[in-house]
């Protein structure tokens, strides 16, 4: 009888934990898709300048993108949250088109891994391979993925560490484009 009660308690506990995990996965967007607004204009700091070669060999210079918002996503091909948000970022890039410049910066990664990642998720924007993670350091990253939105004047308008849905990024971009 005790053994039967113990088995029932374990099964109930396991079902409860599984239910909590499933609920959390289904409702993750409540945490990752919250309303986002840009940093107040007066409080924005200049984005760290960089001029690097993309994987294609073309130069990626933030100053060239002045006049339009820039979305920079720091990622790695072996990062599960990076993979989870990658398709959404590809959609975001297509939705905003030429009004916004997308840039990917691969950190803690290998070139073959990065190339496979961007091909798999159909990223068509410049990708910088940050072999020494010095761009990650300049931007003060705490982890990956991290998404940074730079305003039309080259200042950091918004930054988020961790996986994020596209809605908050789109909200920030819409606010910058309407300003």
CATH code, domain with 150 = 3.40.30.10
The tens-digit pLDDT sequence of the chain (179 residues) is 777 776 766 767 676 565 554 445 444 444 445 678 899 999 999 999 999 999 999 999 999 998 999 999 999 999 999 999 999 999 999 999 999 999 999 999 999 999 999 999 999 999 999 988 899 999 999 889 999 999 999 999 999 999 999 999 999 999 999 98
For residues 117 and 42, give the distance between their C-alpha atoms in angstroms, rounded to a whole number: 37
**Closest-CA residue to 60 (of 127, 158, 147, 130):** 127
Helix (H) and strand (E) counts for the chain?
A: 6, 7
pTM listed for this prediction: 0.80
Please indicate, yes or no, whether residues 26 and 102 belong to a single structural domain of this protein: no
Can you give the residue range of the structural domain that contains 131?
Answer: 36-178
**117 Cβ partners below 8 Å, 6+ apart?**
75, 77, 82, 83, 86, 106, 109, 123
Regarding whether 104 and 41 lie in a shared domain, the answer is yes
Q: Do 88 and 171 fall within a single domain?
A: yes
How far apart, in whole angstroms, are the C-alpha atoms of residue 97 and residue 86? 16
Same domain, 98 and 40: yes
User: Is there a single domain that holds both residue 147 and residue 75?
Assistant: yes
């Amino acid at each position: 009888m005790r053994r039967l009660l113990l088995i029932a308690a374990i099964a109930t506990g396991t079902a409860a934990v599984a239910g909590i995990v499933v609920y959390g996965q289904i409702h993750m967007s409540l945490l990752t898709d919250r309303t986002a607004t840009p940093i107040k204009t007066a409080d924005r700091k200049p984005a760290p300048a960089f001029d690097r070669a993309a994987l294609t060999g073309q130069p990626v210079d933030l100053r060239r993108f002045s006049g339009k918002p820039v979305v920079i996503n720091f990622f790695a091909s072996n990062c599960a949250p990076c993979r989870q948000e990658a398709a959404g970022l590809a959609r975001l890039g297509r939705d905003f088109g030429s009004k916004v410049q997308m840039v990917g910066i691969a950190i803690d990664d290998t070139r073959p891994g990065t190339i496979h990642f961007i091909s798999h998720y159909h990223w068509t924007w410049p990708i910088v391979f940050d072999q020494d993670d010095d761009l990650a350091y300049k931007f003060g990253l705490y982890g990956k993925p991290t998404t940074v939105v730079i305003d039309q004047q080259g200042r950091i308008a918004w930054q988020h560490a961790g996986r994020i849905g596209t809605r908050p990024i789109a909200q920030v971009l819409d606010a910058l484009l309407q300003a």
